[in-house]
């Protein structure tokens, strides 16, 4: 099987879907010249009519994608860096998420909104956001956050084919990681988690770029006699509650790892789900490994320790294992 990294997989997913369906098109900031690496060759293959560079008008072009979708197109919108979704928030929340509902089922808004989370790279507070939890609080949006190249390709293809709006939060900390990708076409269903490492002692639930860190922590802990299971939700909305509970039922312990800020994070939601529906499985309190509720500083010395790391995950696992209810 050929190898591809995360952004190459994203590119291939979009290219395959654009070949399959003439209503699929890509629009976004600096996509024609492949500024962010995931649109290479698309202009050459599909032409200017289907690969649109947009003005720097996030509200304008995200809203335009909504309108195009309502009349029969299937836009993929590359908003590029995640905090650039904020100027478009009204269009995402009030138009894209709500139109089907407000209009009593008349509207179809099959838009895919892509953005990349550019954290842990000295980009400071306005460029380092991981804002998926904010949008998880908005009904009407499906949200995916792939953690590796295989999932990125399969989920992006599923997102393009989905008739509902999908936001895709791409994690740049795993962009460069390569893995084998099958030659044959495959889709990964939205709403289904994956067990990325099987184990019986403790469940580590990890989001996006935290998944490889959780796997590394689990590998390290294996040397200490701890057999950790790593669950990757892949889709953040809707969360695969059954998969989370099944794992916790098996292990009785849960560490939730989420690169987002702590309050009202995925970690908060998963903790609440397990506290509500899986309390009786738990042998120890649920622990969260997140980013604190502070802004992201520029200087790497201050920035690096703020996000989940392999060491912080391993430490949380050890703490959980010491507890015995």
Partner 1 sequence: MIKKNRVMPVSNQLWPEMYRRMLRIRRFEAAATTLHGRGEIPGALHTATGQEGEIVGACMALTTEDYMIGNHRSHGHPIGKGARLGPLMAELMGRATGVNRGKGGSMHLADFSVGSLGETSILGSGLPVATGAALGAKMLKNGRVSLCFFGDGASSEGAVHEAMNIASVWKLPVIFLCEHNGYAITTPAKLGVSVEDVATRATGYSMPGVVVDGQDVVATYDAVAVAVQRARAGEGPSIVEAKTYRYSEHSIALPPMPYRTKEEVDSWRQRDPITMFRQRSLDEGVLRETELVAIETEVAVEVQEAVDFAKKSPLPQPDEAYEHVFIDPLTDLRT
Single out the segment in contact with partner 1 by CB under 8 A; choices: 2-10, 144-152, 159-167, 177-185. Answer: 159-167
Query: Any idea which residue has 């050890």 for tokens?
Result: 318
CB of residue 319 to partner 1, shortest distance in Å: 31
The minimum distance between CB 112 and partner 1, in angstroms, equals 14
| Alpha-carbon gap, residue 92 to 86, rounded angstroms | 9
In 14-129, beta strands by DSSP E: 24-28, 51-53, 74-81, 112-117
Which residue, 75, 36, 22, is CA-closest to 52?
75
Instruction: State which of residues 139, 182, 285, 292 lies at the interface with partner 1 (CB under 8 A).
Output: 139
Cis, peptide link before residue 87, omega less than 30° from 0: no
Active site residue 295: no
Asked if 191 is part of the footprint of partner 1 (rule: CB under 8 A), the reply reads: yes
Nearer to partner 1, 142 or 157 (CB): 142
What is the closest distance, in whole angstroms, from the C-beta atom of residue 67 to partner 1 in the complex? 2
Q: Of 98, 108, 104, which is closest to residue 73 (Cα–Cα)?
A: 108
By CB under 8 A, is residue 30 in contact with partner 1? Answer: no
Stretch that binds partner 1, among 139-147, 179-187, 206-214, 245-253 (CB under 8 A): 139-147
Strand order in 51-53's β-sheet?
Answer: 51-53, 24-28, 74-81, 112-117, 166-171, 142-144, 235-237
Active-site residue list: 127
Which chain residues interact with partner 1 by CB under 8 A? 23, 25, 49, 52, 54-55, 57, 59-73, 90-91, 94-95, 99-108, 139-140, 142, 162-164, 190-191, 238, 241
């Amino acid at each position: 099987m050929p190898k591809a990294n995360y952004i190459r997989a994203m590119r291939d997913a979009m290219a395959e879907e654009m070949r399959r369906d003439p209503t699929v098109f890509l629009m976004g900031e600096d996509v024609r010249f492949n500024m962010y690496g995931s649109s290479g060759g698309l202009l050459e293959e599909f032409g200017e009519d289907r690969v649109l560079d947009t003005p720097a008008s996030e509200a304008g072009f995200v809203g335009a994608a909504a309108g195009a979708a309502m009349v029969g197109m299937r836009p993929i919108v590359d908003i590029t860096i995640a905090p650039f979704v904020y100027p478009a928030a009204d269009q995402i929340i009030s138009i894209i998420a709500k139109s089907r509902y407000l209009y009593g089922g008349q509207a179809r808004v099959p838009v895919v909104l892509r953005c990349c989370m550019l954290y842990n790279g000295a980009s400071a507070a306005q460029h380092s956001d991981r804002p998926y939890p904010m949008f998880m609080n908005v009904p009407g949006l499906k949200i995916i956050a792939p953690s590796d190249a295989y999932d990125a390709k399969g989920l992006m293809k599923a997102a393009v084919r989905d008739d509902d709006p999908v936001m895709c939060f791409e994690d740049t900390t795993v962009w460069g990681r390569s893995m084998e990708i099958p030659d044959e076409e495959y889709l990964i269903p939205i709403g289904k988690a994956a067990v990325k490492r099987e184990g019986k002692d403790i469940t580590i639930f990890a989001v996006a770029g935290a998944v490889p860190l959780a796997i590394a922590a689990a590998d390290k802990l294996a040397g200490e006699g701890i057999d950790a299971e790593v669950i990757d939700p892949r889709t953040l909305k809707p969360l695969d509650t059954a998969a989370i509970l099944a794992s916790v039922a098996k292990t009785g312990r849960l560490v939730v790892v989420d690169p987002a800020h702590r309050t009202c994070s995925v970690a908060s939601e998963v903790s609440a789900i397990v506290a509500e529906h899986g309390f009786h499985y738990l042998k120890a309190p649920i622990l969260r490994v997140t980013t604190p509720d502070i802004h992201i500083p520029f200087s790497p010395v201050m920035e690096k320790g703020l996000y989940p790391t392999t060491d912080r995950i391993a430490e949380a696992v050890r703490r959980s294992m010491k507890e015995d209810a």
